[in-house]
Amino acid sequence: MDDTLGNGTTMEKGVLPDAPETSVRMSCRNINVFYGEKQAIYDVSLQIADRSVTALIGPSGCGKSTFLRCLNRMNDTIEGCRVEGEIMMEGKDINSPVIDPVLLRSRVGMVFQKPNPFPKSIYENIAYGPRIHGLAQGREDMDEIVEKSLRRAGLWEEVKDRLNLAGTSLSGGQQQRLCIARAIAVRPEVILMDEPCSALDPIATARIEELIDDLRKRYCIIIVTHSMQQAARVSQRTAFFHLGALVEVGDTDQIFTSPRDRRTEDYITGRFG
């Protein structure tokens, strides 16, 4: 794989004129992941574009979630998991010992498969991140961060009168948007989403997809999804994983209309997976 993004992304123009259109946010080279003796990821190299949505698709167990978790070193929390290879972000390898995973994760946020609000109030769920990173100067500042994050996650209007209610009292879709708001609140540059809609109904899913489309104007988003329709709807670039290897990556349009690899074609036409 070469170092450019290949054929340009389909980003909307004019939204953020100061941002270079196809800058590379994260660059992974020769990633291998092992769980103990078992290898889960084989030699994956992938460039991730800023201010766009990259979808990772592939059959269950193909390693796409494992790969996603490499990008904010969440695999550190799994005993016996070992990551090899180079993941460059702003000229530094995030796996190098000088990088503090705690700081890295404040820049690379994550949203999980199942909504996992903390057992705290809605307000405290959002305020948690800014508080541990010291992002707010006083109560008013924090109120502003909470409101802004909830607005960006499209949840403000629904919860502004009950910020003191438990986060777990919301519906599944609202909980997931709360988790997205929580991730946004620490001002990350990248947001990782691990099948964020798999536990949600179609209406809640549509809202989250709308939100993702909105968020990509500001953030680099990488989403793992089982739904090819979802990948086609929300992403600009798509990477197809199979058996721990990256089979093909390209513009979403190209992947879904004229895949180069036979396996990609088989998967997106529903012949396996």
Binding site for another protein (CB under 8 A): 72, 74, 77, 79, 102-107, 109-110, 112, 114, 116-120, 128-129, 132-133, 179, 182-183, 186, 192
Length of the chain: 273
Compare residues 106 and 235 and give the one whose CB is closer to another protein: 106
Query: In angstroms, what is the minimal distance from the CB of 183 to another protein?
Result: 7
Compare residues 11 and 215 and give the one whose CB is closer to another protein: 215
Compare residues 163 and 185 and give the one whose CB is closer to another protein: 185
- The Cβ of residue 161 has, within 10 Å, a number of other Cβ atoms equal to 8
Query: In angstroms, what is the minimal distance from the CB of 92 to another protein?
Result: 17
Residue 113: DSSP 8-state: S
Burial class (CB in 10 A: 0-12, 13-18, 19+), 28: buried
Compare residues 222 and 246 and give the one whose CB is closer to another protein: 222
Query: In angstroms, what is the minimal distance from the CB of 243 to another protein?
Result: 25
Transcribe 191-203 into DSSP letters: EEEESTTTTS-HH
- Which own/partner contact pairs does 202-205 have at CB distance under 8 Å and 24+ positions apart? 203/173, 204/171, 204/172, 204/173, 204/174, 204/176, 205/173, 205/230
Compare residues 146 and 186 and give the one whose CB is closer to another protein: 186
Query: In angstroms, what is the minimal distance from the CB of 239 to another protein?
Result: 21
Query: In angstroms, what is the minimal distance from the CB of 119 to another protein?
Result: 5
